Structure 1
Amino acid sequence: MTSAASDNPGNRADALPKSWNPSEVEAELYERWVAAGYFAADATSAKPGYSIVLPPPNVTGSLHMGHALDHTLMDTLSRRKRMQGYEVLWLPGMDHAGIATQTIVEKQLAVDGKTKEDFGRELFIDKVWDWKRESGGSIQWQMRALGDGVDWSRDRFTMDDGLSRAVQTIFKRLFDAGLIYRAERLVNWSPELRTAISDIEVKFEDVEGELVSLRYGSLNDNEPHVIVATTRVETTLGDTAVAVHSEDPRYKDLIGTTLEHPITGRQIPIVADDYVDPEFGTGAVKITPAHDPNDFEMGLRHNLPMPSIMDERGRIIGTGTEFDGMDRFEARVKVRERLAAEGRIAAEKRPYLHSVGHSERSGEAIEPRLSMQWWVKVESLAKAAGDAVRNGDTVIHPTSQEPRWFEWVDNMHDWCISRQLWWGHRIPIWYGPEGEVVCVGPDETAPEGWVQDPDVLDTWFSSGLWPFSTMGWPDSTTELQKFYPTSVLVTGYDILFFWVARMMMFGTFVADDHVLTAGKDGAKQVPFKDVFLHGLIRDQYGKKMSKSRGNGIDPLDWINSYGADALRFTLARGAQPGGDLSVGESHALAARSFVTKLFNATKFALMNGAEPGVLPDRTELTDADRWIIDRLEEVRAEVDSAFDAYEFGKACEALYHFAWDELCDWYLELSKVQFAGPRAESTRIVLGNVLDAVLRLLHPVIPFVTESLWRALTGGASVVIADWPQATGIATDDTAAQHISDAQRLITEIRRFRSDQGLADKQKVAAKLIGLDTAGLTELHDSVANLARLTEPGAEFAATASVEVRLSGSTVTVELDTSGAVDLDAERRRLEKDFAAAEKELVTTTAKLGNEAFLAKAPDQVVDKIKGRRGIAEAEVARIGARLAELSGK
C-alpha cells in the first residue's frame, strides 16, 4: 500500500461520484473502451483465439429483450475470455432481412401513390440501399448502450460485396453437386407480399372458423355419394379426388369409382389412402393437391391432377366458374352459398376453432400454393449436421436439447430457398434463348443475351454462411486461420431448427475447404465448437412476452431507469442452459440495489484506505481475513466452473451472495473494528485484494460499474484488459471458517434476542460475553460487541436478561442490562397487539382442524399447512405471553 494512500485514503474515493448514476457515466465509458481499441481483435496475435459471431439482427429491427439476453451472455463470455488471455473476436453484423426491408420501403413509396414497379428493379434497389444507409441499423447504438464489446471494425452486412461473393460461391458449389434444383412444389405463400416465405416466418394462431359439411355425388341418398367436411370451402374448386381409408367398410364399394364434382361437374375419383383416419368425421376427405400440404402428398401418391385455383394475390382463377376473379375469402362465402342453394350442404355450418398459419410480416393467413421454386436437397447436408453433434465435433448445451436437434435434422424436408422479391441476393441462374440453364459463379460472366432468374434467395441462405463468410470465405484470410471454427454460438432454443441447422449444413458442406483447414492438420471444420441454447424470456408471471399481450419490456426503458448493468445482471442471473426465465420490475430493482451496494461498499473501502497489495503472511491475518480470502477462492472456483458450463445464473448467484451477504454484510462490518486496531494495515490490503478480485469476477456481467470502481481502487487503465483471477493454491483455513461461522451465529442470536426484548436496532446495551475464550472467539470479542450493539459493562452492571447460544464446540452466555433501554409501555402495547393476532390465528386454525367435514374434504397438503400454522401460532402465544408476564413483573 502506497504511502500517499495511507496519508490520504480519501484521494481515490474522491475519484468516484457521490452516488452511482448510470446515465451519467455509461455512454462515456463505452466510447472510451472503443477508442482504446479494447474490443478490436488482432488476427496475427500469438494469443489463443476465441471467437463468437453475433446472430445478425435484422437491419429493420430494434433491441428487444431476447436480443438483450443474447448480447449480455455473448458479451459476458467475450469479456471473460479476453481477461483470461485470449485474443477475442466478437464479430457484429446485420441481416438484410429481405421481406421486412422491402416491405418498409414499399410502404414509403405507397404514401406517394407509387409502387416498386413504377421505378423498376434497379432504381428500387437503390432506394432500399438509401433507406439502409439513412434509417437502418438503429440497433447498433442500442448495442452500445447495452455495453456490447464487439469489434466494430469488422461489422458485416449480409449484402456486403464479400458476403455476396460467398453466397454466389456456395450456391454454385451446391448446384454443381446436384444439391440445388428447381421444382414445382407446395410452399407457404403470402398473397399480400406475393412471395413464398419460410417456415420460421409462419406463426400459427387459433382462429374461429366454420366447418362446412358438403355432399359429393348424388343428392339421392340411395345413389353413390360421400360427405366431407372442410374449413376452406373455396378450395373445393381445386378438388381432384376424394380419399377414404382402404379398410373402411362404408366406402369399399366406392373405391375406384368416380363422383360428380358438386360445382364443376367433373368426374373425380374415390381413392384409398391410409393417411385418412376413418374415425375422424365421416371418414372421407376431399383432396386439393395444389392448396394443402397433406393433399399434395396424396396427390403425388395417386398421380392426381394439381390445378392451381388462386393467383399470386389469392384470387380465384382458371376454374371456369362465376367465382373467378374473387378474393379467396369472398369466394369462401359465395361457394358455400351456392352449395347451400343446390342442397349440397349436408349439415348446418358450425363454429370451429382451428390453427391457421399467418405471415409474421404481413399478419395475413398463409395460403399453401403450388409454385415453381428453387430448393436445396437437404438429406446429405442434414445427415452431416447431425453427425457433427453425434461425433462430438459440435457440442450442444444443454445436452437435453440434443434429441430435438436429431429429430429435426433426421427428418428434414427439402428447403425452399427462392423468394419472389427484389431486395436480396439474386439467384445466380441464367436462362438462354433455347431454354439453356447455367449457374454463374462469382468470377464468371453469363453469356450475352441470357436472362437472370428474377427471384432472390431466402434470407436464411446468406445468414447460414455467417460464421465463415464474415471472416472472408471463400478467400483465405488470417481471420479464418485464427478464429474459425468459432468457439460458441449463443442463441435461443426456439431457432435451433432454422438458423442453427442451416449454418451446420453449410458449415459441414465446406468443412474440408482448404481455406478453412489450412494450418489445422487438414481436419474438417465445423462452424462452431459449442452451441449454447438459452430459454425464452417471460414476464414475471411466467407468460411469454408478446405485443398482443402487452407484456413486453423495452430493454432501453430499463437501461434508462436502472442502468445497463442492472438489466444485464437481471438477465444473466436468470439464464440457465435451455431454461426459460421470468423477469419483472422487481428483478431490475433488485439488480440495481446490488449495483448500488457494490458501489457504496467500494467507496467505503476506499475512504478507509483499502488498496490491493502483497498479502502479509497468513499468520499475521485475523480469522476474518483468512475466512474472506478463503471464501473468495471458493467462489472464484465456483464461478469459473459455472461459466465454463454456460451456467450464467449459477455464476451470478454465487457472486451476488458472496458480495452482498459475506463481503458487505459481514467482512466490511468486521473490518470496521480491525481498521481501528493494530491490524488496520493488513485489513486494508485484504479488503483491497478481495474487492479487486470481486470486481474482476463481476466485470463480464456488469461492466460499467466495475470499470469505474476498479479503476478507482487500483489506478489501473481498465478492468476490460485486467487479468482474470487465478487459483491461489493455498489450503483453506477450516478453523478460521468455523470461528467466523460461530461469530455470525452468536451475533444473529443476540440480535434476535434484542428484537424479542423490544430493543431498538441502534440502542446500545451493556453486556457480558461469557465463554468466548472457550469458543475460540476472543479475537472477535470487539467485532461481536460492535455488530450486536453491546457495550462494556460498568462497575454498577446488573444483568436483567441473558441468552445462551450454542456454538460448534461450546456455549456462550450473554448477560445484558436492558434496564432503561426499553420503553416498557410502548413495548407492552406492541406485544399485546402481536399477542392478540397470534391468539386469533390459533383459534382459527384450531377450529378448522376440529371441523370433521372440512378434514374429510381437504387435501392432505392443505391440512398439513394448517397444522403448521397452528404450531407457529401456539409458539407465538407462548413466547409473547411469557414476555408480557416478564414485563408485568418489572
Structure 2
Amino acid sequence: MDKNYDPAEIESRWYTQWEDNGYFRMGMEGDAYCIMIPPPNVTGSLHMGHAFQDTIMDALTRYHRMQGHATLWQPGTDHAGIATQMVVERRLAAEGTSRHDLGRDAFIEKIWEWKAESGGNITRQLRRMGASVDWERERFTMDEGLSEAVTEVFVKLHEEGLIYRGQRLVNWDPVLKTAVSDLEVESQEENGHLWHFRYPLSDGSGHLTVATTRPETMLGDSAVAVHPDDERYQHLIGKTITLPLVGREIPVIGDDYVDREFGTGVVKITPAHDFNDYEMGQRHGLPLINILNDDASLNDDVPEKYRGMDRFDARKAVVADLDALGLLDKVDDHRLMVPRGDRTHQVLEPYLTDQWFVKAQPLAEPAIEAVESGRIRFVPENWSKTYFEWMRNIQDWCISRQIWWGHRIPAWYDDAGNIYVGRNEDEVREKHQLDAGLALRQDEDVLDTWFSSALWPFSTLGWPANTAELAKHYPTSVLVTGFDIIFFWVARMIMMGLKFMDDVPFREVYVHGLVRDASGAKMSKSKGNVIDPLDVVDGITLDALLDKRTAGLMQPKMAEKIAKQTRKDFPEGIPQHGTDALRFYFAALASTGRDIRFDTQRLAGYKNFCNKLWNAARYVDMTVEGIDLSDDGEIETSVADRWIISKLQHTEATVNRHYAGYRFDLIAAELHEFVWHHFCDWYLELTKPVINNADNPAARRGTARTLVRVLETVLRLLHPLMPYITEEIWQRIGPLAGKQGETIMHQPYPVADPSKADPAAEADIAWLQQCLLGIRQIRGEMDIAPGKPLDVLYQDESADDVSRLASMGPWLNALGRINSLEPAGDNPPECAMAVAGSLKLLVPMAGLIDKDAELARLDKQIAKLEKELAGAAARLKNPSFVEKAPAEVVEKARQQADAQARTLNELKAQQDKIRAL
C-alpha cells in the first residue's frame, strides 16, 4: 500500500472500474430493494443538498446490495420546463434572436441541442460522489417512454372527469407570462404601505374606509366586506357603495373571514386578483372582474385613463387620483409578504385565466388512507402531520403552463371552441368521428413539470407496459427527500401511484433536513454561499472560488458583497477532502429531519478519519507479512483478540439496527468509535507485544488472523458510507482474510454472531485500559515524557486484580512504559496516584521531576493566563464591544474566555497535586 492516502487517484480509478464491470446494474434475483432518485433539474448542477441526499440513497443501496437484495437505484433528470426554457432563451438573446423568431419546433430543437451539450454535468457530479445508480437505465422526463406515460395518464384522468379545463385564479408570472406552481413562489417579507381609502355609500349616508396594500386592484372590486358580528358595520350589510374612479355600485357583505382587528375592519373584495377574495367571491356569487393583461399591465376593463399602464404605474395614478378627490384617508408604513417568482424574482399576480386542472379531492382520499393505515410510513413520523394538513385541505391542481418546453397538452380545438382530448390527433378524429376536413389545432400549453415527475416511480419502470422490472420493483422501497416538496411531489406520487398502479409508490418516506451554511442561513446563489460538492471533494483555490461565485453577476455591489463573504469564510480556499470524507461527514450529521450546518472544520476531522483508516490498514498489511494466515496449524487467540471480536459483534448489531431506523448519524458515530478508539487506539497497540514475541508462534498467528479479519469486516461495515477507500484497502486485505471476489460491494454485509461475544474479555481489557489511562494521566499532569520508563507500585489489590496483573502484566508494562510493577508495601514514598476500581497505582516522584522547578514553571503559566483572562473578561463587559461587534465575533470571544478559564483551573489543580507530594 502507498504510504499516503490520495483520494483523487483512488476515486477516479475505482468508479470507472465499477461502472465498466456493470456492478450497479438492476438486480432481478432475490428480494427487491428499489430507490428512485428525485430527478434533479437538467438545467444546472448538483449542490450540497443533492450531495447529502445522494449520499443517503447510495448508502442504502450499497447496504442492501451487500445484503443480497435485488437492488435498483433508478437515475434520471427532470426537463424542468420553465428553468430550461429560460436558459435557452437567454442564450438566444445573447445571439440576437428569440424563440418567437425561431418558431416552436425550431426552438424545441435548440433545447434538445442544449441538453445534449450540457446535460452531462449532473451525471459527472454523481459519478464523482460515488453514486451506484444503474446508468444503463437512466431516464429523462421528456424521453419517449415517459412522454407516452404522461399522455396516457392525462387522457385517462380526463375520461374519468378528473381533469378539466376551467377559469380560476393561478399564480401568474408576468415576465414569463405563465402560471407557476406554489413551489415556484418565494414569499418574502418586504417594506410596503397600507393605503386607507374612503368608499362613499351609494345612498349618500357616509362612507366606509378600507385598507389595501395594492391600490390598483380597487378598479376590479366586486364588494366591500365586514365581519357579520362587527357592531360598527352590521347595519350597513346589504347596502351598496359607489366604487370611486369607476362608478360601479358594489354591495357591502358580511363574511366571517374578515379580521375585525386588521386596519379598519373593512376590506375591499377583488375576486379576480386575490386568492382569499376569490373564495369569498365564490361564497357570495360575486362577479370576477379581471383588470390585468398577461404582462400585468391594465386591460380594457378599467377606465380609459389607466388602460395599458404597468400595474405599479397604475398604483401611483390611482393613489394620486383618490387623493385629489379627497378620498385618501392616510398611508401607513407596512411590512407585508410579497410573492416573487423563483426564476424571474418579479412580483407574481393572482390572475384569472383559463387553465387545465386536476380534480384533486377524489385522488387525495385514498392517498390519505394509505398513510393513515401504515401502508406508507414517514420517517420521522411527525412529517405525516404536515402531509395530512395539506391533503385534507387540498385544492384542485393547475397543471397547464404557458411555455413551449414540456409535454404538450394532448387536447385539440376546432373553430367552434370544442375541446377534444386524445393520445394523438388521429385518435381524436376517430374517437369523435370528426370530418377529415375539420381543422383542428392542438393546445399551445404544456403540462406542469410536477405532472410528469408524479409518475416517476412507475413510468421509469416501463409503465404503461407491463414490464418485468415494473413487476419486480414496484412499489419501491423508500423515497428519500427533503421536507420542502412533500406537498408538490411526494403527495402527488402517492395519488398517481394508487390511481394507476393500485398500490403505493413506496413503503417509506425518509425526510431529511436542508444543508445550510456555517451561520445557519439557507444556501442560495444570491447570497453567494452555495458550495459545489466537488469543490469540497477536489479542493479549490480562493481565486477560483471567487470567480465561480461572482460569474455572471451584473451588479458590482452584489459581486463585492459575495466576494467579501467568501474571503471571510474561505481565506485560503477549500482544501481537498475527498469523496469518502464528505460522505461520512453527511452521514454523521444526518439525524432525523434536522438541518445541517456545513462546517469545514468538522469535515476536516473526517478527512483525518480516512487517513487513520489508511494508516491502520498499512500497519496491518506490514505487520502480518510473512505470517501464515491459513486455517492450518496451531492458533492461539489472546484476550485482546477476543475483546476486539466481542466489540465488533456489538458494532455489527448496532449498525444494522440503525440502518432499519434511518439513523445515519448513529451509524457513523458507532463506526467512528469502533475504528478510531477500539481498533486503532487500543487494539493495534495491544497486538504489538504479541506480534513482536517470536517465542509464541501460535499466538502471533492468532493475532495476525484477527487483525486482518477484523479489518476486513470493518471495511465491509464502512463501505456503504465510504465506498472508495474501503474498496481500495479491501483489494489488499480481503484476500489476506480469505475473501474471494472482484469487489467489496458484492461481499455480504456483516451480521453479528452472539456466540462470539466475550464479556470476560471485555471486562479484562476495560481494567487494562483503566490502568493505562491512569498512568498516562499521571504523566500528563506531572509533565513526564511519554517514553520515560516508570517504576509503578500498587496497593489495595483484589484477587481479580492480582490475577489480571499476572496475566496482563506484559501489556501493562509495554503500553504503559513501565520499568517495574511491584506491591507498594506499608510505607510507600511520595507518589502520584491513579485508581482502577479498587486498585491504586502509585508512581514515585523521586527523581522524575524537580518539584521546585515544576512549581515555578506552573506559576509563570498561571500568571500569564490570569492576565489574558482578565483582559478577555474586561472586553466582554464592555458594552461597545458586546453590542456593536458581529454576534459570531462576540460568541468566539466568550468561547475563548471559557477555554482559558478551564485551562487555568487545570493548571492550579496540577499545582496543588505537586505541592502535596
TM-score by length of 2: 0.86
Which residue pairs with 2:532 in the alignment?
554
In 2, Cα distance between equivalents of 1:476 and 1:609: 55
Which residue pairs with 1:655 in the alignment?
671
In the alignment, structure 1 residue 216 sits paired with structure 2 residue 199: yes
In the alignment, structure 1 residue 697 sits paired with structure 2 residue 717: yes
In the alignment, structure 1 residue 339 sits paired with structure 2 residue 339: no
Which of these residues, 795, 802, 808, is aligned with residue 831 of structure 2?
A: 802
Root mean square deviation, CA, Å: 2.9
Amino acid paired to 1:880: Q
Q: 1:488-541 deviations in whole A, cap 9, x for unaligned?
A: 1111122111110110010010133xxxxxxxxxxxx21111111111122333
Which residue pairs with 1:23 in the alignment?
8
Task: Select between 310-319 and 438-447 the one with higher mean Cα deviation.
Answer: 438-447
In the alignment, structure 1 residue 313 sits paired with structure 2 residue 313: no
Matches within 5 A, 1:347-746: 347=330, 349-441=331-423, 445-447=427-429, 448=436, 449-512=439-502, 525-560=503-538, 561-609=576-624, 620-677=636-693, 678=696, 679-715=699-735, 716-746=741-771
Which residue pairs with 1:522 in the alignment?
none
Which residue pairs with 2:113 in the alignment?
130
The alpha carbon displacement at 1:375 in A equals 0.4
Which residue pairs with 1:833 in the alignment?
860
Which residue pairs with 1:811 in the alignment?
839
In 2, Cα distance between equivalents of 1:96 and 1:869: 56
The alpha carbon displacement at 1:297 in A equals 1.1
Q: Give the direction of change, closer, same or farther, for the CA distance of 1:142–1:844 in structure 2 (3 Å limit).
A: closer
Which of these residues, 72, 83, 96, is aligned with residue 79 of structure 2?
A: 96
Which residue pairs with 2:212 in the alignment?
230
Which residue pairs with 1:855 in the alignment?
none
Q: Give the direction of change, closer, same or farther, for the CA distance of 1:352–1:811 in structure 2 (3 Å limit).
A: same
In 2, Cα distance between equivalents of 1:786 and 1:75: 43
Contact 2:518 2:598 in 1 (8 A): yes
What SS does the aligned partner of 1:562 have? coil
Q: Give the direction of change, closer, same or farther, for the CA distance of 1:868–1:823 in structure 2 (3 Å limit).
A: closer
What SS does the aligned partner of 1:399 have? coil
Structure 2 portions without partners, runs of 5+: 430-435, 539-575, 736-740, 873-896
In 1, Cα distance between equivalents of 2:904 and 2:39: 59
Contact 2:638 2:702 in 1 (8 A): no
In 1, Cα distance between equivalents of 2:362 and 2:846: 83
Q: Give the direction of change, closer, same or farther, for the CA distance of 1:700–1:187 in structure 2 (3 Å limit).
A: same
The alpha carbon displacement at 1:281 in A equals 1.3
Contact 1:146 1:564 in 2 (8 A): yes
The alpha carbon displacement at 1:307 in A equals 1.4
Which residue pairs with 1:759 in the alignment?
784
In 2, Cα distance between equivalents of 1:420 and 1:612: 74
The alpha carbon displacement at 1:870 in A equals 10
Q: Give the direction of change, closer, same or farther, for the CA distance of 1:456–1:867 in structure 2 (3 Å limit).
A: closer
Matches within 5 A, 1:137-216: 137-216=120-199
Contact 2:778 2:834 in 1 (8 A): no
Amino acid paired to 2:258: V
Which residue pairs with 2:94 in the alignment?
111
In 1, Cα distance between equivalents of 2:448 and 2:898: 63
In 1, Cα distance between equivalents of 2:142 and 2:216: 41
Task: Select between 756-765 and 554-563 the one with higher mean Cα deviation.
Answer: 756-765
What SS does the aligned partner of 1:510 have? helix
In 2, Cα distance between equivalents of 1:435 and 1:185: 18
Contact 1:195 1:419 in 2 (8 A): yes
What SS does the aligned partner of 1:308 have? coil
Q: Give the direction of change, closer, same or farther, for the CA distance of 1:279–1:745 in structure 2 (3 Å limit).
A: same
Which residue pairs with 1:40 in the alignment?
25
Amino acid paired to 2:323: A
Which residue pairs with 2:557 in the alignment?
none
In 1, Cα distance between equivalents of 2:267 and 2:151: 44
Q: Give the direction of change, closer, same or farther, for the CA distance of 1:78–1:489 in structure 2 (3 Å limit).
A: same
The alpha carbon displacement at 1:334 in A equals 1.7
The alpha carbon displacement at 1:247 in A equals 2.1
What SS does the aligned partner of 2:725 have? helix
Task: Select between 430-439 and 561-570 the one with higher mean Cα deviation.
Answer: 430-439
Contact 1:190 1:359 in 2 (8 A): yes
In the alignment, structure 1 residue 782 sits paired with structure 2 residue 810: yes
Matches within 5 A, 1:227-376: 227-318=209-300, 319-347=302-330, 349-376=331-358
Amino acid paired to 1:585: T
Number of residues of Structure 1 aligned to a counterpart in Structure 2? 833
Structure 1 portions without partners, runs of 5+: 1-15, 513-524, 846-865
Q: Give the direction of change, closer, same or farther, for the CA distance of 1:570–1:75 in structure 2 (3 Å limit).
A: same
The alpha carbon displacement at 1:117 in A equals 1.3
Q: 1:789-842 deviations in whole A, cap 9, x for unaligned?
A: 223489xx998653444434x4143444652x4466763432223454798899
The alpha carbon displacement at 1:296 in A equals 0.8
Q: 1:390-427 deviations in whole A, cap 9, x for unaligned?
A: 12211111112111111111111110000001100011
TM-score by length of 1: 0.89
In 1, Cα distance between equivalents of 2:198 and 2:676: 74
In 2, Cα distance between equivalents of 1:870 and 1:435: 82
Amino acid paired to 1:541: S
What SS does the aligned partner of 1:17 have? coil
Q: Give the direction of change, closer, same or farther, for the CA distance of 1:844–1:65 in structure 2 (3 Å limit).
A: closer
In 2, Cα distance between equivalents of 1:532 and 1:870: 43
Contact 1:618 1:626 in 2 (8 A): no
In 2, Cα distance between equivalents of 1:612 and 1:238: 91
In 2, Cα distance between equivalents of 1:570 and 1:706: 16
Contact 2:515 2:596 in 1 (8 A): yes
Which residue pairs with 1:853 in the alignment?
none
What SS does the aligned partner of 2:619 have? helix
In the alignment, structure 1 residue 880 sits paired with structure 2 residue 900: no
Q: Give the direction of change, closer, same or farther, for the CA distance of 1:616–1:762 in structure 2 (3 Å limit).
A: farther
What SS does the aligned partner of 1:181 have? strand
In 1, Cα distance between equivalents of 2:350 and 2:628: 68
Instruction: Calculate percent identity across the aligned residue pairs.
Output: 43
Q: Give the direction of change, closer, same or farther, for the CA distance of 1:777–1:77 in structure 2 (3 Å limit).
A: farther
The alpha carbon displacement at 1:844 in A equals 13
In 2, Cα distance between equivalents of 1:837 and 1:779: 47
